[in-house]
């Protein structure tokens, strides 16, 4: 594996008092397993949206292995999920660099999804909503996606699940990038309205790679 950038700080960059623990600590594995369980669904969503489904499981496993080795480097004052997904993005780039036909999502798609995932992680609902799991919210997203007009659904799928750039989507549909951009904006608005009606918040259309 190549070295990560900001997502995997070097040991000397993280003061000892801010490190979570060393991997040799007898309680480290239990804590690590809890952190992976809590962040695993969001990690898989991120990987599939970024790199597609074909190599998602392998990237997930490699991410967990690298994160375990670098657990002493994790700064416990920062959220674990973004750190973990940062490792996954670097691994996905390595995979793509070795596979000519593999694509990764455009930077703007990755940034948008990361913002939404962080919002989801910060969000705390009330009542029944607070009990909804990440997978339950994705199921609601899948249902809302099924309600979109066919052209909107196909465009959203191409942009998010298939990780195509705006220009690639425009070429596929034989339309201008501006037309595709506006269609995606309208589709997102329809999805957000549908999700809000279901009392679901904190799930982005970028998560469609997991929901379909």
CATH number of 1-104: 1.10.1740
Q: Is 60 exceeded by the pLDDT of residue 212?
A: no
CATH number of 105-212: 1.10.10.10
DSSP state of 160: I
pLDDT, one tens digit per residue, over 40-97 is: 888 988 898 888 888 999 999 999 999 999 988 888 888 899 999 999 999 999 999 8
* Alpha-carbon torsion, ordered 168, 173, 179, 181, to 10 deg: -40
Spatial CA neighbour of 47 closest among 127, 128, 113: 113
Q: Is 90 exceeded by the pLDDT of residue 123?
A: no
Mean pLDDT score across all residues of the chain? 77
**pTM for the predicted model, two decimal places:** 0.59
Q: Is 70 exceeded by the pLDDT of residue 10?
A: no
pLDDT, one tens digit per residue, over 186-198 is: 998 898 888 888 7
The DSSP code sequence of 47-105 is HHHHH-STTHHHHHHHHHHHHHHTGGG-BTTS-HHHHHHHHHHHHHHHHHHH-TT----
The predicted model gives 115-119 an average pLDDT of 75
Angle at 167 between CA 102 and CA 114, to 5 degrees: 65
Q: Is 70 exceeded by the pLDDT of residue 166?
A: yes
174 Cβ contact list (under 8 Å, min separation 6): none
Break the chain into its structural domains and give their ranges.
1-104, 105-212
């Amino acid at each position: 594996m190549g070295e990560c950038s900001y997502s995997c700080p070097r040991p000397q960059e993280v003061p000892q008092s801010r490190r979570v623990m060393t991997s040799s600590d007898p309680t480290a594995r239990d804590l690590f397993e809890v952190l992976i369980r809590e962040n695993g669904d969001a990690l898989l969503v991120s990987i599939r949206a970024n790199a597609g489904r074909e190599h998602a499981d392998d990237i997930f496993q490699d991410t967990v292995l690298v994160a375990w080795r670098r657990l002493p480097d994790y700064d416990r004052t920062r959220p674990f999920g973004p750190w973990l997904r940062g490792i996954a993005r670097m691994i996905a780039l390595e995979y793509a660099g070795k596979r000519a036909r593999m694509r990764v999502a455009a930077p703007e798609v990755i940034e948008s999804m990361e913002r939404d995932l962080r919002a989801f992680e910060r969000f705390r609902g009330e009542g029944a909503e607070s009990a909804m799991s990440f997978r339950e919210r994705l199921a609601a997203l899948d249902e809302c996606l099924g309600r979109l007009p066919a052209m909107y659904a196909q465009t959203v799928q191409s942009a998010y699940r298939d990780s195509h750039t705006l220009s690639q989507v425009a070429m596929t549909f034989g339309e201008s990038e501006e037309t595709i951009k506006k269609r995606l904006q309208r589709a997102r608005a329809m999805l957000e309205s549908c999700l809000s009606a279901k009392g679901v918040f904190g799930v982005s259309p970028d998560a469609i790679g997991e929901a379909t």
